[in-house]
Amino acid sequence: MKTRTFRSAALALIFIILLSMSASVTYANTNYLPSSWASQKIVISATAGIIPEDFDAQPFTESITRKDFCEVLINTCRIFGITLHELPVSHPFTDTTDNNAENAYMLGLTQGTDIGIFSPDLPLTREMAAVMLSKLRMLFQSSSNNGFENFNWNHGDWNHAGDLYDFGGDNYYHNARNHGASENHYSIVSTTSTGSLAYSLPMDEQQAARLLVEYSTDSNLVSGWAQNYMADVYALGILSGTGEDKLDPKSDITREQAVLLSLNVLAYCDESQIRAAGVAECVLPAPAGIFISPSYYMSDVYLRWNTIPLASAYDITVFKNGISSYTMRICSNYLDLQTSSSTYDQYSESFAVTNNANLLYSSVFGGDKKVIHAALKVVPVNSNGEPSVFFLKREFTIFPWANASEMITGDPEKSQFTNISQANLNMKSIKVKVWNLTASGTKKPASLTLTINKNVAENMKKIFEEIYNGKGKFPIKNAQGYSYRSGTSQHSNGTAVDINPTENYFISLDGVIKSGSIWKPGNNPYSILPEGDVVHAFNRYGWHWSPDMNWSNGKDYMHFSLNGK
């Protein structure tokens, strides 16, 4: 009876949405319609049974309450096949006896807002939703017989610089594996003495912090209790940002967003119910874990995506300027166009090894030295060889330089400009926003002009914008970029920046101060904090801080450079 009711509601909603396409239709009822961008997935969610009855009696764009979100989650659990526990005789909350809230409590999806308090009518924030969605994801994957058998615990994902990216590899789920792991299946869900469920953290705090800082500009706003869960659902593409790389953790989730987020969890863990609803194709948010190498080099293109739990292979398509240029079915979760790779050709049903990286790159993108606007589309394929109806997609840009030297000097064989005249021709002056510190100790907006290599000018604007928008409002009274000097100084190339040089000295390993006078982070407001807004902003765009580079001649606390020198 319940399934028939959901299906009838879905058909009614589809009918309403179809009618809304005609401007001449006048509605006599008071039912609300979802936003145009959400309408397709709302129909899918209704057809699958996620949307409760009479959900459209309130505006889809209103904030959803904690109680109503629990109803959506419990519906999603029923679709997945989760057995609901018998509700306790004594109610866990003093401010509600709502069955969905109590079911969510027994499943461990919520502990309330305080001891014995659920706050049923409180609007649900994005970070509250992230915690519940992450636990829902863990519940589904722990309950599935196929739950993580396709994860390769011995394979980490490395970028070309040798840094391990923890999203989707063995380190990402290291903590989870240590709680009840078996050969092909593990669980990070346990039963408490009261019969309710409890969850281990999906990752450790350091991994969560690193991920949130890497892919968002407001990670400092995420509450400590939500960081691990926000990192989990954001990395897996279940929850996306709100634009401009922002997470907006304290903003409210709307009713239509709540439905789509639940649909994303269901699609990520097992899209068979979505397929059964007749869906032909739909896009999951691009997860932060789709790694596109931030390289400026031609042919240095490394594409990697998170492992999808039930996928045995992936159909990938690479687009060049909006046109499909490469399609392949592969068993791994990465495609490296720089090195040889073994791939499975879905058309010839055979494996092919590409030994010439430049040939593979050229076959996909050609040899023209132009900026290429590219995109990666990834479709998971199940063990029966059936492509999923959901796919991941991310756009990226390839710049037309052969290597770092060509990006800097225009010549792939020259790492430095020959003379000051040549260097001057390759520089650009930009104006950036900064905070100035007044005599009274307050901070006021200001600007300064910085001369920098023309090929990194746009990224430099973004770096200073992130510093300006940072939580600490770091004050900058002076900064120097391009300054032609003898030797191999990166200032001569316009690929180094010194910030507040007096308060961020250059000190040799034997303690002799070579430049500047002090460095007192935390005491002097102009001194750069390790792991602070300034360092994070530069690192985000591939620039390095001298103290992090283990220079043999000392530490230059004012100095940031593109190549770490």
Backbone angles phi, psi at 179, to 5 degrees: -120, 85
Number of other residues whose CB lies within 10 A of the CB of residue 68? 22
Name which of 127, 204, 222 is nearest 471 in CA terms.
222
- 57 contact partners, CB below 8 Å, separation of at least 6: 30, 31, 32
Which amino acid, residue 349?
Answer: E
pLDDT, position 133: 97
> Exposed, middle or buried, 551 (CB in 10 Å: 0-12/13-18/19+)?
middle
CATH of 291-398, one of 2.60.40, 3.30.2450, 3.30.70, 1.10.10: 2.60.40
What is the side-by-side order of every strand in the sheet holding 513-515? 513-515, 506-507, 555-556
Q: How far apart are CA 533 and CA 465, in angstroms?
A: 11
Domain boundaries defined on the chain? 2-283, 291-398, 406-561
Q: How far apart are CA 30 and CA 460, in angstroms?
A: 51
DSSP state, residue 33: -
pLDDT, position 288: 75
Q: How far apart are CA 121 and CA 427, in angstroms?
A: 57
- Rounded alpha-carbon distances, angstroms, from residue 524 to 477, 520, 557: 13, 5, 13
Mean pLDDT by 10 residues, the chain (565 residues): 41 44 36 89 90 92 97 95 86 94 95 94 97 95 56 28 29 30 49 88 86 84 94 90 86 96 91 80 80 67 81 93 93 76 42 52 80 90 88 85 86 93 96 95 95 94 92 94 92 97 95 95 94 87 88 94 85
151 is written with which tokens? 């994860």
Q: How far apart are CA 278 and CA 78, in angstroms?
A: 19
Q: How far apart are CA 73 and CA 41, in angstroms?
A: 16
